[in-house]
Structure 1
């Protein structure tokens, strides 16, 4: 009985990620994940790579949250950016308990990428939230 609502709330959102990667020049892949690191949807990543990226993005998001709590009076994380020599990794909040991660080449316009990520999240926020896990048998 308790499984039906969960199934109804599970929606394939990979098409949204595909659209985001196609709209933003030099974007390579995108990932929707739970804030504890589980893949919800992916574009441009093999399964193992998506799992690894989800773990990395979750860790970055958690570090950002800790910085907000410790140094910014509890401010929420809006975005974490990692700039590498040849690429960028953006991680943003995507609803309660969810994050959006996008990997792009260093040529990508960070402003455009951040804007497109924010617009995607804003337009579909209710579908992106991840319900809290319940103990088994609850």
Structure 2
């Protein structure tokens, strides 16, 4: 959960401030490590914010795996260069990340600096506890069982490839 000193509205305001302060930044999302959007800047719809949170979580997880495998330490920031923009993902507290999407003309150093500044400002107040299996298996609002069968989980046989 979000730490007691910051709520989603406060995060949204801080993310809006980042977007307005750095001209090349198109939008920003604060997310849990498992990909849930905790706060979004104005200008990104709910669906796109949730999608960006999921993508950013995946990139951050891949970078953490590379850091562990190559004994390179903790991930500070991940950057993906796209044809028409950049995606930055930075650790922002325990179980929390900051994702920023910027245009192709972005000043990469300025964005990295501003992200680090925001993380220093709020990172110690943010924490997101990992979701437990019970959270994932909770009944859906429509009363139907969770996808994947009666217990909501699909498991591959032990040793199965790709499962």
Same fold (TM over 0.5): yes
**1:56 aligned partner:** 55
The Cα of 1:133 is off from its aligned counterpart by 3.2
RMSD: 1.9
Q: 1:24 touches 1:108 (CA, 8 Å); kept in 2?
A: no
Partner of 1:131: helix, strand, or coil?
A: coil
Contiguous gaps of at least 5 residues in structure 1: 1-5
Selected match of 1:96 from 85, 88, 94: 94
User: How far apart, in 2, do the equivalents of 1:132 and 1:7 lie?
Assistant: 12
Structure with more of its chain in helix, by fraction = 1
Selected match of 2:125 from 124, 127, 136: 127
**2:23 aligned partner:** 25
**2:104 aligned partner:** 106
User: How far apart, in 1, do the equivalents of 2:29 and 2:111 lie?
Assistant: 14
**1:70 aligned partner:** 69
Structure 1 residues 43-85: Cα deviation after superposition (integer angstroms, max 9, x where no partner): 12111111111110000000000000001x1511100101111
TM (norm. structure 2) is 0.75
Aligned residue pair count: 131
The Cα of 1:22 is off from its aligned counterpart by 0.7
Partner of 2:56: helix, strand, or coil?
A: helix
TM (norm. structure 1) is 0.87
The Cα of 1:127 is off from its aligned counterpart by 2.7
User: How far apart, in 2, do the equivalents of 1:61 and 1:113 lie?
Assistant: 17
Partner of 1:103: helix, strand, or coil?
A: strand
